[in-house]
Chain A
Amino acid sequence: MAQIHSPLPGTFYRSSAPDKPPFKADGDAVAAGDVIGLIEVMKSFHEVKSEIAGKNIRFECDNEEPVMAGMVLAQVD
Protein backbone atom coordinates (compact mmCIF):
# COMPACT_ATOMS: atom_id res chain seq x y z
CA MET A 1 0.00 0.00 0.00
CA ALA A 2 1.23 3.51 -0.84
CA GLN A 3 -0.02 7.04 -0.39
CA ILE A 4 -0.46 10.04 -2.69
CA HIS A 5 0.19 13.33 -0.89
CA SER A 6 -0.96 16.86 -1.65
CA PRO A 7 1.96 18.91 -3.01
CA LEU A 8 0.33 22.22 -1.99
CA PRO A 9 -2.10 23.70 0.52
CA GLY A 10 -5.48 24.66 -0.90
CA THR A 11 -8.78 23.13 -1.98
CA PHE A 12 -8.85 19.64 -3.50
CA TYR A 13 -11.04 18.84 -6.51
CA ARG A 14 -11.68 15.34 -7.88
CA SER A 15 -12.74 16.52 -11.37
CA SER A 16 -11.77 19.27 -13.83
CA ALA A 17 -15.20 20.94 -13.57
CA PRO A 18 -18.35 20.39 -11.52
CA ASP A 19 -20.16 18.74 -14.47
CA LYS A 20 -17.20 16.50 -15.45
CA PRO A 21 -16.54 12.94 -14.20
CA PRO A 22 -13.76 12.52 -11.60
CA PHE A 23 -10.19 12.04 -12.88
CA LYS A 24 -10.16 8.72 -10.99
CA ALA A 25 -13.04 6.74 -9.50
CA ASP A 26 -12.54 4.75 -6.31
CA GLY A 27 -11.10 1.36 -7.32
CA ASP A 28 -9.37 2.59 -10.50
CA ALA A 29 -5.77 1.70 -11.33
CA VAL A 30 -3.21 4.53 -11.36
CA ALA A 31 -0.06 4.90 -13.47
CA ALA A 32 2.83 7.18 -12.52
CA GLY A 33 2.09 10.61 -13.99
CA ASP A 34 -1.70 10.19 -13.99
CA VAL A 35 -3.67 13.24 -12.87
CA ILE A 36 -5.76 12.30 -9.83
CA GLY A 37 -7.15 15.73 -8.96
CA LEU A 38 -6.63 19.49 -8.82
CA ILE A 39 -5.54 21.76 -6.00
CA GLU A 40 -6.83 25.32 -6.06
CA VAL A 41 -4.40 27.73 -4.41
CA MET A 42 -5.40 31.39 -4.31
CA LYS A 43 -7.71 31.05 -7.32
CA SER A 44 -5.13 29.21 -9.48
CA PHE A 45 -5.44 25.52 -10.28
CA HIS A 46 -2.62 22.95 -10.17
CA GLU A 47 -2.80 19.32 -11.33
CA VAL A 48 -1.94 16.63 -8.79
CA LYS A 49 -0.03 13.88 -10.57
CA SER A 50 0.59 10.52 -8.95
CA GLU A 51 4.30 9.77 -8.53
CA ILE A 52 3.52 6.09 -8.05
CA ALA A 53 1.67 3.31 -9.88
CA GLY A 54 -0.84 1.04 -8.17
CA LYS A 55 -4.26 -0.54 -8.17
CA ASN A 56 -7.51 0.15 -6.36
CA ILE A 57 -7.19 3.86 -5.57
CA ARG A 58 -9.12 4.95 -2.49
CA PHE A 59 -9.57 8.68 -1.84
CA GLU A 60 -9.05 9.88 1.73
CA CYS A 61 -10.07 13.41 0.81
CA ASP A 62 -13.46 14.51 -0.50
CA ASN A 63 -14.13 16.79 -3.43
CA GLU A 64 -13.80 20.50 -2.49
CA GLU A 65 -12.17 19.66 0.84
CA PRO A 66 -9.48 22.01 2.22
CA VAL A 67 -6.05 20.33 2.34
CA MET A 68 -2.63 21.12 3.76
CA ALA A 69 0.65 20.42 1.94
CA GLY A 70 1.73 16.83 2.63
CA MET A 71 -1.74 15.60 3.56
CA VAL A 72 -2.72 12.15 2.25
CA LEU A 73 -5.14 12.53 -0.67
CA ALA A 74 -5.44 8.84 -1.63
CA GLN A 75 -4.09 5.35 -1.05
CA VAL A 76 -3.27 2.71 -3.67
CA ASP A 77 -2.38 -1.00 -3.43
Chain B
Amino acid sequence: MLKKLLVANRGEIAVRVIRAAQDLGIATVAVYSDADRDALHVQIADEAANIGPPAAKKSYLNVANILKAAADTGCDAVHPGYGFLAENADFADACAGAGLAFVGPSGDAIRTMGDKVAARSAAHAAGVPVVPGSLGRIGSIDEARHILIDTGFPVMIKAAAGGGGRGIRIANDLAEFEAAFPQAAAEALAAFGDGGLYMEKVIAKARHIEVQVLGDGRDAVHCFERECSLQRRRQKVWEEAPSRALSPRIRDELCASAVRLTRAVGYSGAGTIEYLYDDEADRFYFIEMNTRIQVEHPVTEMITGIDLVAEMLRIAGGEPLRLRQSDIIPRGHAIEVRLNAEDPSRDFAPFPGTVSALRVPGGPGVRFESMLYAGYTVPPFYDSLLAKLVVHAETREAAITRLVRALSETRIEGLRTTKPLFLALAKDDAVKANAVHTRWLEGWLATHSSRLVPELEP
Protein backbone atom coordinates (compact mmCIF):
# COMPACT_ATOMS: atom_id res chain seq x y z
CA MET B 1 0.00 0.00 0.00
CA LEU B 2 1.15 3.51 -0.73
CA LYS B 3 2.15 5.60 2.29
CA LYS B 4 2.22 9.22 1.17
CA LEU B 5 0.67 10.61 -2.00
CA LEU B 6 1.37 13.87 -3.79
CA VAL B 7 -1.70 15.05 -5.73
CA ALA B 8 -0.39 16.89 -8.79
CA ASN B 9 -3.58 18.78 -9.57
CA ARG B 10 -6.06 21.35 -8.27
CA GLY B 11 -9.81 21.99 -8.14
CA GLU B 12 -12.48 19.37 -7.61
CA ILE B 13 -10.33 16.43 -8.79
CA ALA B 14 -7.57 17.23 -6.29
CA VAL B 15 -10.23 17.23 -3.55
CA ARG B 16 -11.65 13.94 -4.87
CA VAL B 17 -8.22 12.21 -4.93
CA ILE B 18 -7.22 13.50 -1.47
CA ARG B 19 -10.48 12.15 -0.03
CA ALA B 20 -9.96 8.71 -1.62
CA ALA B 21 -6.38 8.53 -0.29
CA GLN B 22 -7.39 9.60 3.21
CA ASP B 23 -10.16 6.98 3.22
CA LEU B 24 -7.44 4.37 2.60
CA GLY B 25 -5.20 5.77 5.35
CA ILE B 26 -2.69 7.25 2.87
CA ALA B 27 -1.14 10.60 3.88
CA THR B 28 -1.64 13.37 1.31
CA VAL B 29 0.35 16.32 0.01
CA ALA B 30 -1.43 19.03 -1.98
CA VAL B 31 0.45 21.27 -4.40
CA TYR B 32 -0.68 24.79 -5.22
CA SER B 33 0.20 27.81 -7.33
CA ASP B 34 0.34 31.34 -5.92
CA ALA B 35 -3.28 31.78 -7.12
CA ASP B 36 -4.50 28.75 -5.13
CA ARG B 37 -3.24 29.50 -1.60
CA ASP B 38 -6.83 29.51 -0.27
CA ALA B 39 -8.02 26.50 -2.28
CA LEU B 40 -9.96 23.68 -0.60
CA HIS B 41 -7.52 20.96 -1.68
CA VAL B 42 -4.75 22.83 0.18
CA GLN B 43 -6.92 23.05 3.30
CA ILE B 44 -7.95 19.38 3.48
CA ALA B 45 -4.63 17.73 2.58
CA ASP B 46 -2.30 16.67 5.39
CA GLU B 47 0.46 18.90 3.95
CA ALA B 48 0.78 21.38 1.10
CA ALA B 49 3.63 22.66 -1.06
CA ASN B 50 3.81 25.77 -3.23
CA ILE B 51 4.96 24.96 -6.77
CA GLY B 52 5.11 28.38 -8.43
CA PRO B 53 3.28 31.31 -10.04
CA PRO B 54 -0.36 31.22 -11.26
CA ALA B 55 0.41 30.32 -14.91
CA ALA B 56 -0.10 26.55 -15.20
CA LYS B 57 3.08 26.25 -17.26
CA LYS B 58 5.06 27.54 -14.27
CA SER B 59 3.26 25.49 -11.59
CA TYR B 60 0.87 22.62 -12.34
CA LEU B 61 2.79 21.74 -15.53
CA ASN B 62 6.20 22.31 -13.94
CA VAL B 63 7.61 18.79 -13.63
CA ALA B 64 10.79 19.85 -11.79
CA ASN B 65 8.87 21.76 -9.11
CA ILE B 66 6.37 18.93 -8.60
CA LEU B 67 9.09 16.26 -8.28
CA LYS B 68 10.98 18.50 -5.84
CA ALA B 69 7.82 18.90 -3.72
CA ALA B 70 7.39 15.11 -3.69
CA ALA B 71 11.01 14.60 -2.59
CA ASP B 72 10.90 17.37 0.03
CA THR B 73 7.75 15.92 1.64
CA GLY B 74 8.85 12.27 1.47
CA CYS B 75 6.10 11.03 -0.87
CA ASP B 76 6.19 7.56 -2.45
CA ALA B 77 3.50 8.18 -5.08
CA VAL B 78 1.99 10.83 -7.39
CA HIS B 79 -1.61 11.00 -8.63
CA PRO B 80 -1.91 13.28 -11.68
CA GLY B 81 -5.73 13.72 -11.67
CA TYR B 82 -7.02 14.70 -15.14
CA GLY B 83 -5.72 17.44 -17.43
CA PHE B 84 -2.32 19.07 -16.70
CA LEU B 85 0.26 16.21 -16.62
CA ALA B 86 -2.20 13.28 -16.48
CA GLU B 87 -1.47 12.00 -20.00
CA ASN B 88 2.14 13.13 -20.24
CA ALA B 89 4.25 10.00 -20.80
CA ASP B 90 7.48 11.82 -19.94
CA PHE B 91 6.03 12.85 -16.57
CA ALA B 92 5.04 9.25 -15.81
CA ASP B 93 8.60 8.16 -16.70
CA ALA B 94 10.10 11.00 -14.61
CA CYS B 95 8.07 9.89 -11.57
CA ALA B 96 9.23 6.30 -12.02
CA GLY B 97 12.80 7.53 -12.45
CA ALA B 98 12.53 9.44 -9.16
CA GLY B 99 11.35 6.27 -7.37
CA LEU B 100 7.72 7.43 -7.16
CA ALA B 101 4.74 5.23 -8.02
CA PHE B 102 2.80 7.02 -10.77
CA VAL B 103 -0.92 6.41 -10.18
CA GLY B 104 -1.74 5.49 -13.75
CA PRO B 105 -0.37 3.41 -16.61
CA SER B 106 3.28 3.22 -17.67
CA GLY B 107 4.80 5.96 -19.79
CA ASP B 108 4.91 3.52 -22.70
CA ALA B 109 1.17 2.73 -22.44
CA ILE B 110 0.41 6.48 -22.37
CA ARG B 111 2.66 6.96 -25.41
CA THR B 112 0.99 4.18 -27.42
CA MET B 113 -2.56 5.30 -26.69
CA GLY B 114 -1.66 9.01 -27.02
CA ASP B 115 -0.48 8.49 -30.60
CA LYS B 116 -3.82 8.38 -32.43
CA VAL B 117 -2.54 6.17 -35.25
CA ALA B 118 -0.78 3.72 -32.91
CA ALA B 119 -3.95 3.55 -30.77
CA ARG B 120 -6.07 2.82 -33.86
CA SER B 121 -3.67 0.07 -34.89
CA ALA B 122 -3.66 -1.41 -31.37
CA ALA B 123 -7.47 -1.41 -31.33
CA HIS B 124 -7.67 -3.05 -34.75
CA ALA B 125 -5.12 -5.69 -33.70
CA ALA B 126 -7.22 -6.45 -30.58
CA GLY B 127 -10.29 -7.02 -32.74
CA VAL B 128 -11.94 -3.72 -31.73
CA PRO B 129 -13.89 -2.10 -34.59
CA VAL B 130 -12.38 1.25 -35.61
CA VAL B 131 -14.03 4.04 -37.63
CA PRO B 132 -13.62 3.10 -41.35
CA GLY B 133 -10.56 4.82 -42.80
CA SER B 134 -6.82 4.35 -43.06
CA LEU B 135 -5.35 1.82 -40.65
CA GLY B 136 -2.11 3.73 -40.31
CA ARG B 137 -0.58 6.89 -41.67
CA ILE B 138 -1.49 7.65 -45.28
CA GLY B 139 1.62 7.31 -47.43
CA SER B 140 0.37 9.10 -50.56
CA ILE B 141 -2.69 10.53 -52.29
CA ASP B 142 -2.80 7.35 -54.43
CA GLU B 143 -3.07 5.22 -51.32
CA ALA B 144 -5.79 7.55 -50.00
CA ARG B 145 -7.80 7.18 -53.24
CA HIS B 146 -7.89 3.40 -52.76
CA ILE B 147 -9.11 3.72 -49.18
CA LEU B 148 -11.74 6.28 -50.19
CA ILE B 149 -13.36 3.72 -52.53
CA ASP B 150 -14.36 1.79 -49.39
CA THR B 151 -15.07 4.64 -46.98
CA GLY B 152 -16.94 7.07 -49.23
CA PHE B 153 -17.47 10.70 -48.21
CA PRO B 154 -17.40 12.83 -46.14
CA VAL B 155 -14.09 11.92 -44.49
CA MET B 156 -11.99 13.60 -41.84
CA ILE B 157 -8.30 14.14 -42.50
CA LYS B 158 -6.60 14.11 -39.11
CA ALA B 159 -3.08 14.84 -37.91
CA ALA B 160 -1.47 11.75 -36.38
CA ALA B 161 0.09 13.95 -33.72
CA GLY B 162 -3.08 16.03 -33.16
CA GLY B 163 -5.78 15.65 -30.54
CA GLY B 164 -8.52 17.47 -28.69
CA GLY B 165 -10.21 18.36 -31.97
CA ARG B 166 -7.14 20.12 -33.39
CA GLY B 167 -5.69 19.42 -36.83
CA ILE B 168 -8.92 18.08 -38.39
CA ARG B 169 -10.22 18.83 -41.91
CA ILE B 170 -13.36 17.50 -43.55
CA ALA B 171 -13.52 16.63 -47.26
CA ASN B 172 -16.89 16.09 -48.95
CA ASP B 173 -15.61 14.76 -52.28
CA LEU B 174 -12.41 13.70 -54.02
CA ALA B 175 -11.60 17.20 -55.32
CA GLU B 176 -11.85 18.64 -51.80
CA PHE B 177 -9.76 15.77 -50.49
CA GLU B 178 -6.99 16.31 -53.03
CA ALA B 179 -6.91 20.04 -52.26
CA ALA B 180 -7.01 19.59 -48.49
CA PHE B 181 -4.48 16.75 -48.20
CA PRO B 182 -1.23 18.69 -48.87
CA GLN B 183 -2.50 21.66 -46.84
CA ALA B 184 -3.32 19.42 -43.89
CA ALA B 185 0.13 17.80 -44.10
CA ALA B 186 1.86 21.22 -44.10
CA GLU B 187 -0.32 22.43 -41.21
CA ALA B 188 0.31 19.31 -39.15
CA LEU B 189 4.05 19.67 -39.72
CA ALA B 190 3.94 23.31 -38.60
CA ALA B 191 1.64 22.75 -35.61
CA PHE B 192 2.89 19.39 -34.27
CA GLY B 193 6.33 18.93 -35.90
CA ASP B 194 4.92 15.81 -37.57
CA GLY B 195 3.20 15.96 -40.98
CA GLY B 196 1.72 12.45 -40.65
CA LEU B 197 -1.97 12.14 -41.52
CA TYR B 198 -4.66 9.50 -41.23
CA MET B 199 -8.31 9.55 -42.16
CA GLU B 200 -11.65 8.47 -40.79
CA LYS B 201 -15.11 8.42 -42.29
CA VAL B 202 -17.48 11.00 -40.77
CA ILE B 203 -20.19 9.21 -38.78
CA ALA B 204 -22.96 11.79 -39.11
CA LYS B 205 -25.28 11.10 -36.19
CA ALA B 206 -23.45 9.18 -33.53
CA ARG B 207 -23.60 8.87 -29.80
CA HIS B 208 -20.52 9.14 -27.61
CA ILE B 209 -20.30 5.96 -25.58
CA GLU B 210 -17.29 5.06 -23.44
CA VAL B 211 -16.33 2.07 -21.35
CA GLN B 212 -14.64 2.37 -17.96
CA VAL B 213 -11.87 -0.18 -17.49
CA LEU B 214 -9.53 -1.17 -14.67
CA GLY B 215 -6.31 -3.08 -15.31
CA ASP B 216 -3.39 -4.25 -13.20
CA GLY B 217 -0.92 -4.80 -16.05
CA ARG B 218 -1.93 -8.45 -16.43
CA ASP B 219 -5.67 -8.70 -16.16
CA ALA B 220 -8.50 -6.24 -16.82
CA VAL B 221 -12.19 -5.76 -16.07
CA HIS B 222 -14.80 -3.28 -17.31
CA CYS B 223 -17.21 -1.26 -15.19
CA PHE B 224 -19.79 -0.87 -17.94
CA GLU B 225 -20.40 2.13 -20.15
CA ARG B 226 -21.24 5.81 -19.92
CA GLU B 227 -23.07 7.88 -22.51
CA CYS B 228 -21.80 11.44 -23.02
CA SER B 229 -23.59 12.54 -26.18
CA LEU B 230 -24.53 15.98 -24.85
CA GLN B 231 -21.49 18.03 -25.83
CA ARG B 232 -20.68 21.62 -26.65
CA ARG B 233 -17.56 22.28 -28.73
CA ARG B 234 -16.50 18.65 -28.14
CA GLN B 235 -16.69 19.22 -24.36
CA LYS B 236 -19.05 16.96 -22.44
CA VAL B 237 -21.62 18.75 -20.29
CA TRP B 238 -23.98 15.93 -19.17
CA GLU B 239 -23.00 12.29 -18.70
CA GLU B 240 -24.91 9.19 -17.68
CA ALA B 241 -24.51 5.53 -16.90
CA PRO B 242 -25.62 3.15 -18.26
CA SER B 243 -26.49 4.17 -21.83
CA ARG B 244 -30.15 3.75 -22.62
CA ALA B 245 -29.34 3.46 -26.32
CA LEU B 246 -27.62 0.06 -26.21
CA SER B 247 -29.22 -3.35 -26.51
CA PRO B 248 -27.88 -5.98 -24.07
CA ARG B 249 -26.10 -7.71 -26.97
CA ILE B 250 -24.31 -4.54 -28.15
CA ARG B 251 -23.42 -3.65 -24.54
CA ASP B 252 -21.79 -7.07 -24.07
CA GLU B 253 -19.82 -6.75 -27.32
CA LEU B 254 -18.74 -3.19 -26.54
CA CYS B 255 -17.57 -3.94 -23.01
CA ALA B 256 -15.82 -7.15 -24.09
CA SER B 257 -13.93 -5.25 -26.81
CA ALA B 258 -12.77 -2.67 -24.23
CA VAL B 259 -11.42 -5.41 -21.98
CA ARG B 260 -9.58 -7.03 -24.93
CA LEU B 261 -7.84 -3.75 -25.78
CA THR B 262 -6.99 -3.02 -22.13
CA ARG B 263 -5.37 -6.46 -21.79
CA ALA B 264 -3.62 -6.18 -25.15
CA VAL B 265 -1.74 -3.04 -24.11
CA GLY B 266 -0.90 -4.38 -20.61
CA TYR B 267 -2.79 -1.48 -19.10
CA SER B 268 -2.50 -0.62 -15.42
CA GLY B 269 -4.91 1.65 -13.53
CA ALA B 270 -8.22 3.23 -14.52
CA GLY B 271 -8.82 4.06 -18.18
CA THR B 272 -11.60 4.86 -20.59
CA ILE B 273 -12.10 3.49 -24.08
CA GLU B 274 -14.16 5.92 -26.15
CA TYR B 275 -16.43 4.90 -29.00
CA LEU B 276 -18.90 6.34 -31.44
CA TYR B 277 -22.15 4.39 -31.59
CA ASP B 278 -24.24 4.64 -34.76
CA ASP B 279 -27.88 3.92 -33.78
CA GLU B 280 -29.11 3.29 -37.30
CA ALA B 281 -26.38 0.82 -38.21
CA ASP B 282 -26.33 -0.56 -34.63
CA ARG B 283 -22.52 -0.49 -34.74
CA PHE B 284 -19.80 0.95 -32.55
CA TYR B 285 -16.36 2.22 -33.49
CA PHE B 286 -13.28 2.85 -31.32
CA ILE B 287 -12.13 6.48 -31.31
CA GLU B 288 -9.51 6.76 -28.57
CA MET B 289 -8.40 5.68 -25.13
CA ASN B 290 -8.02 8.13 -22.25
CA THR B 291 -5.25 6.91 -19.98
CA ARG B 292 -6.45 8.73 -16.83
CA ILE B 293 -9.38 9.06 -14.46
CA GLN B 294 -12.06 11.08 -16.24
CA VAL B 295 -14.21 13.97 -15.05
CA GLU B 296 -17.36 11.87 -15.39
CA HIS B 297 -16.09 8.80 -13.46
CA PRO B 298 -18.63 9.29 -10.61
CA VAL B 299 -21.61 8.10 -12.70
CA THR B 300 -19.90 4.72 -13.01
CA GLU B 301 -19.16 4.72 -9.28
CA MET B 302 -22.82 5.42 -8.53
CA ILE B 303 -24.13 2.45 -10.55
CA THR B 304 -21.39 -0.05 -9.56
CA GLY B 305 -20.60 1.02 -5.98
CA ILE B 306 -16.88 0.95 -6.83
CA ASP B 307 -14.55 3.77 -5.71
CA LEU B 308 -12.50 4.02 -8.91
CA VAL B 309 -9.90 6.40 -7.45
CA ALA B 310 -9.35 4.07 -4.49
CA GLU B 311 -8.89 1.15 -6.92
CA MET B 312 -6.30 3.21 -8.85
CA LEU B 313 -4.39 3.81 -5.60
CA ARG B 314 -4.47 0.11 -4.69
CA ILE B 315 -3.21 -0.91 -8.13
CA ALA B 316 -0.42 1.69 -8.03
CA GLY B 317 0.53 0.27 -4.61
CA GLY B 318 1.17 -3.09 -6.29
CA GLU B 319 -2.07 -4.93 -5.49
CA PRO B 320 -3.64 -7.11 -8.17
CA LEU B 321 -7.21 -6.35 -9.29
CA ARG B 322 -9.56 -7.05 -6.39
CA LEU B 323 -12.66 -7.27 -8.52
CA ARG B 324 -13.65 -10.12 -10.78
CA GLN B 325 -15.93 -9.27 -13.67
CA SER B 326 -18.79 -11.15 -12.02
CA ASP B 327 -18.45 -8.91 -8.92
CA ILE B 328 -19.29 -5.81 -10.95
CA ILE B 329 -23.04 -5.40 -11.21
CA PRO B 330 -24.71 -2.20 -12.38
CA ARG B 331 -27.72 -0.95 -10.43
CA GLY B 332 -30.05 1.89 -11.38
CA HIS B 333 -29.17 4.96 -13.40
CA ALA B 334 -26.81 7.88 -12.70
CA ILE B 335 -26.50 11.32 -14.29
CA GLU B 336 -23.75 13.92 -13.83
CA VAL B 337 -23.94 17.57 -14.92
CA ARG B 338 -21.00 19.97 -14.96
CA LEU B 339 -21.68 23.25 -13.19
CA ASN B 340 -19.21 25.64 -14.82
CA ALA B 341 -18.49 29.30 -14.06
CA GLU B 342 -19.96 30.33 -17.40
CA ASP B 343 -22.99 32.35 -18.50
CA PRO B 344 -25.00 30.10 -20.85
CA SER B 345 -27.09 33.07 -22.04
CA ARG B 346 -23.95 34.89 -23.25
CA ASP B 347 -22.25 32.18 -25.33
CA PHE B 348 -20.86 30.58 -22.17
CA ALA B 349 -18.65 33.55 -21.32
CA PRO B 350 -16.42 32.68 -18.36
CA PHE B 351 -17.44 34.22 -15.04
CA PRO B 352 -14.75 33.93 -12.35
CA GLY B 353 -15.43 35.66 -9.03
CA THR B 354 -16.22 35.18 -5.36
CA VAL B 355 -18.80 32.74 -4.02
CA SER B 356 -20.80 35.00 -1.71
CA ALA B 357 -23.01 32.18 -0.41
CA LEU B 358 -23.33 28.48 -1.11
CA ARG B 359 -26.15 25.99 -0.64
CA VAL B 360 -25.12 22.42 -1.45
CA PRO B 361 -27.80 19.90 -2.52
CA GLY B 362 -28.22 16.72 -0.49
CA GLY B 363 -30.54 13.89 0.35
CA PRO B 364 -30.73 10.36 -1.03
CA GLY B 365 -28.91 9.61 -4.29
CA VAL B 366 -27.20 13.01 -4.54
CA ARG B 367 -23.44 13.60 -4.67
CA PHE B 368 -21.81 17.04 -5.04
CA GLU B 369 -18.15 16.92 -6.10
CA SER B 370 -16.67 20.38 -5.70
CA MET B 371 -13.91 22.58 -4.29
CA LEU B 372 -16.30 25.45 -3.50
CA TYR B 373 -16.93 26.99 -0.09
CA ALA B 374 -18.63 30.25 0.88
CA GLY B 375 -16.16 33.10 0.50
CA TYR B 376 -13.92 31.23 -2.00
CA THR B 377 -12.69 33.29 -4.95
CA VAL B 378 -12.56 31.29 -8.18
CA PRO B 379 -9.31 32.28 -9.93
CA PRO B 380 -9.44 33.12 -13.65
CA PHE B 381 -6.37 31.10 -14.62
CA TYR B 382 -7.73 27.57 -14.82
CA ASP B 383 -10.69 25.45 -15.87
CA SER B 384 -14.21 26.79 -15.31
CA LEU B 385 -15.53 23.60 -13.64
CA LEU B 386 -16.99 24.51 -10.24
CA ALA B 387 -18.88 21.38 -9.28
CA LYS B 388 -20.19 18.10 -10.59
CA LEU B 389 -23.71 17.32 -9.48
CA VAL B 390 -24.26 13.55 -9.62
CA VAL B 391 -27.60 11.86 -8.99
CA HIS B 392 -28.52 8.19 -8.79
CA ALA B 393 -31.96 6.59 -8.85
CA GLU B 394 -33.65 3.32 -9.83
CA THR B 395 -34.52 4.45 -13.35
CA ARG B 396 -33.40 7.13 -15.82
CA GLU B 397 -36.75 8.91 -15.41
CA ALA B 398 -36.36 9.01 -11.63
CA ALA B 399 -32.77 10.20 -12.00
CA ILE B 400 -33.89 13.14 -14.16
CA THR B 401 -36.57 14.06 -11.60
CA ARG B 402 -33.96 13.86 -8.84
CA LEU B 403 -31.57 15.98 -10.91
CA VAL B 404 -34.16 18.77 -11.15
CA ARG B 405 -34.79 18.53 -7.41
CA ALA B 406 -31.07 18.71 -6.58
CA LEU B 407 -30.43 21.55 -9.04
CA SER B 408 -33.28 23.52 -7.47
CA GLU B 409 -31.65 23.11 -4.06
CA THR B 410 -28.24 24.23 -5.38
CA ARG B 411 -27.31 27.88 -4.96
CA ILE B 412 -23.89 29.19 -5.94
CA GLU B 413 -24.28 32.91 -5.27
CA GLY B 414 -22.02 35.63 -6.67
CA LEU B 415 -21.22 33.73 -9.87
CA ARG B 416 -23.03 32.87 -13.06
CA THR B 417 -23.15 29.14 -13.70
CA THR B 418 -24.47 26.63 -16.21
CA LYS B 419 -27.27 25.56 -13.84
CA PRO B 420 -30.05 27.07 -16.06
CA LEU B 421 -28.80 24.94 -18.98
CA PHE B 422 -29.36 21.72 -17.04
CA LEU B 423 -32.77 22.76 -15.68
CA ALA B 424 -33.85 23.41 -19.27
CA LEU B 425 -32.30 20.21 -20.66
CA ALA B 426 -33.94 18.10 -17.94
CA LYS B 427 -37.34 19.37 -19.15
CA ASP B 428 -36.63 18.87 -22.87
CA ASP B 429 -38.51 16.06 -24.61
CA ALA B 430 -35.52 14.92 -26.69
CA VAL B 431 -33.35 14.65 -23.58
CA LYS B 432 -36.10 12.82 -21.70
CA ALA B 433 -36.39 10.35 -24.58
CA ASN B 434 -32.57 10.21 -24.94
CA ALA B 435 -33.08 11.01 -28.64
CA VAL B 436 -29.74 12.80 -28.92
CA HIS B 437 -26.38 12.58 -30.69
CA THR B 438 -23.04 14.37 -30.28
CA ARG B 439 -24.07 17.40 -32.36
CA TRP B 440 -27.60 17.68 -30.95
CA LEU B 441 -26.81 20.12 -28.13
CA GLU B 442 -25.19 22.74 -30.37
CA GLY B 443 -28.30 22.84 -32.55
CA TRP B 444 -30.54 23.07 -29.47
CA LEU B 445 -28.44 25.92 -28.05
CA ALA B 446 -28.79 27.94 -31.26
CA THR B 447 -32.51 28.33 -30.51
CA HIS B 448 -32.58 28.06 -26.70
CA SER B 449 -29.46 29.71 -25.26
CA SER B 450 -30.88 33.26 -25.00
CA ARG B 451 -33.46 31.94 -22.52
CA LEU B 452 -30.87 30.38 -20.20
CA VAL B 453 -30.36 33.50 -18.09
CA PRO B 454 -28.66 32.69 -14.80
CA GLU B 455 -29.97 34.08 -11.55
CA LEU B 456 -27.23 36.42 -10.27
CA GLU B 457 -27.49 36.91 -6.56
CA PRO B 458 -26.23 40.18 -5.06
Contact = CB atoms under 8 A, between A and B. Distances in A.
B357 interface: no
Interface string A14-58: 000000000000000000000000001111100000000000000
Interface in B342-358: 342, 349-350, 352
Contacts, number: 36
A64 B342 CA distance: 23
A64 B52 CA distance: 14
Interface string B371-389: 0000000001111100000
B383 A42 contact: yes
A43 B35 CA distance: 15
Contacts of B99: none
A6 to B, nearest CB: 11
A28 B133 CA distance: 50
B54 interface: yes
Contact of A43 (B55, B57, B383): B383
A11 interface: yes
A66 interface: yes
B53 interface: yes
Given A42-B380, A42-B384, A66-B381, A11 B55 contact: yes
B341 interface: yes
Interface SS majority for chain B: loop
Contacts of B342: 42
Interface string B32-71: 0001000000000000000001110100000000000000
A14 to B, nearest CB: 14
A40 B341 CA distance: 14
Interface residues of A, number: 11
B352 A42 contact: yes
A61 B109 CA distance: 42
Contacts of B381: 10-11, 40, 42, 66
A11 B381 CA distance: 7
Nearest to A69: B380
B54 A42 contact: no
Contacts of B380: 8-11, 41-42
Nearest to B384: A42
A18 to B, nearest CB: 11
A12 to B, nearest CB: 11
A67 to B, nearest CB: 9
A66 B53 contact: yes
B54 A66 contact: yes
A25 B231 CA distance: 40
Contacts of A9: 352, 380
B55 A42 contact: no
Interface of B: 35, 53-55, 57, 341-342, 349-350, 352, 380-384
7 contacts: A9-B352, A10-B380, A42-B341, A42-B352, A42-B383, A43-B384, A44-B349
The 3 closest A-B pairs by CB, nearest first: A42-B350, A42-B384, A9-B380
